[in-house]
Structure 1
Amino acid sequence: MRRLYILVVLVLFLGGYALAAQRMEAVRAECKTILLALAPVDPRAPLMGDYMALRYVVNNDIRKALAAQKNAQRNAQENAAKATPKSAQKDGQKDGQKNEQKAEPSEKVTTAREQKRNAEGFAVLRITNAPVPQAATFVRLDDGSPLQADEFLLGYRLRGYEVTSAAPAFYFQEGTAHQYAGAKFGVFKLAADGKTLLVGLQ
């Protein structure tokens, strides 16, 4: 029975690995190529063994857009609060206090601040072909509006104050680091779901 269990687990593991590899090859062969500009990293250690730490200009653009969006929402809330009669504000505060009293002390509640600092979404990028062919630049945060012919979605994650959108490192064969030291762009294959596959540096 134990051998059968181990065999089943092994088959499932190998099957999942083969499926993931097949999907990766499909993305590499069928999806369009985009280039994302690299941002400076810690100059003390850009190369570590057989990989290079990567950052992207688009991550900075996304972080700035999120900060602007947050400020706009805060200003809108403040303006709405000023326009609301004080009696309504007091009633709202009382309702909020009642709801807090009803909540169990042991209940794990994710605060709005935590949600905002740990968010996921999509950014809209456009292929501008400048300064090199297939180069893409940030346009806006995705709001559900239709995309133009040269636009596409790029998935991102916000963790604290750090935005990630693509591979954080590029792995290369030992002894070939000099080939990538002057790279300006990450070369990616873009899937339909906004995920990217890093295939090289340029």
Structure 2
Amino acid sequence: MRKFYILAVLLLFFAGYAFSVQKMETVLANGKTILLPLAPVDPRALLMGDYMDLRYIVNADIRAALSKARAARDNSNVSQTKSRVEDTAVEGFAVLRIVNEPVPLAASFIRLDDGKPLLPGEFLLAYKERGHAVTTVATAFYFQEGTARQYEKARFGQFKVADNGKTVLVGLCDKQGKLIEAEAKADSQGDK
């Protein structure tokens, strides 16, 4: 009987994993392609391999809009006791639009989602705020060891966005919006 339970748990685990992978594949196939400008990044290596810590300008825009909304709410509720909203986790959606500036498919923050219908060209991007940090999309990009130099020129993250605001990182792009392809390292042993 114990083997049956273990087998059932394993089947549920793998079914959940397969479902998650299928959802990502659907976003990759059908999602809207956007480019989000990167804030300064720094390549570094960990035990997991080489990666680049990613920060986005849109995160700062969302953080500023949340702060402005809190300030407006606090000013209108002066008589109420102020709560430490910064200590709680906040999740929501930001409205973005592809503005094609400075490159095609570049997206820009428009406003926080207020439930109003989206205008043509606008789409939702899910965000989470924890403390003073806003997270919207992938925070790291992993790449093959020894290829860090080619990713130093990255200026945009390329994403596929689903209708529900969830994203999948496709890759990094240079200042012209061109996807940076990983260069295959020559096998030094094979050349002999």
Superposition TM-score tier, normalisation by shorter sequence: 0.7 to 0.9
Aligned counterpart, 1:168: 139
Contact 2:86 2:131 in 1 (8 A): no
Question: Structure 1 stretches (4+) deviating beyond 4 angstroms?
Answer: none
Pairwise CA distance, 1:3: 1.0
Which structure would you say has the larger RCO, counting Cα contacts within 8 Å and 6 or more residues apart? 1
CA distance in 2, matches of 1:120, 1:36: 20
TM-score by length of 1: 0.78
SS in 1 for 2:100: coil
CA distance in 2, matches of 1:143, 1:56: 22
Aligned counterpart, 1:24: 24
Per-residue CA deviation, residues 84-127 of structure 1 (Å, 9 max, x unaligned), is: xxxxxxxx99xxxxxxxxxxxxxxxxx94247742111111110
Contact 2:43 2:50 in 1 (8 A): no
Contact 1:117 1:161 in 2 (8 A): no
Structure 1 unaligned segments of length 5 or more: list them: 82-91, 94-110
Aligned counterpart, 1:131: 102
What is the aligned-residue RMSD (CA, Å)?
A: 2.0
Pairwise CA distance, 1:146: 1.2
Structure 2 unaligned segments of length 5 or more: list them: 174-192
Paired residues in the alignment total: 170
Quick check: 1:190 aligned with 2:161?
A: yes
Aligned counterpart, 2:152: 181
116 and 138 in structure 1: CA distance in 2 versus 1, 3 angstrom threshold: farther
User: Percent identical across equivalent pairs?
Assistant: 59
CA distance in 1, matches of 2:147, 2:61: 31
TM-score by length of 2: 0.82
**Structure (1 or 2) with the greater helix fraction:** 1
Aligned counterpart, 1:47: 44
CA distance in 1, matches of 2:84, 2:172: 37
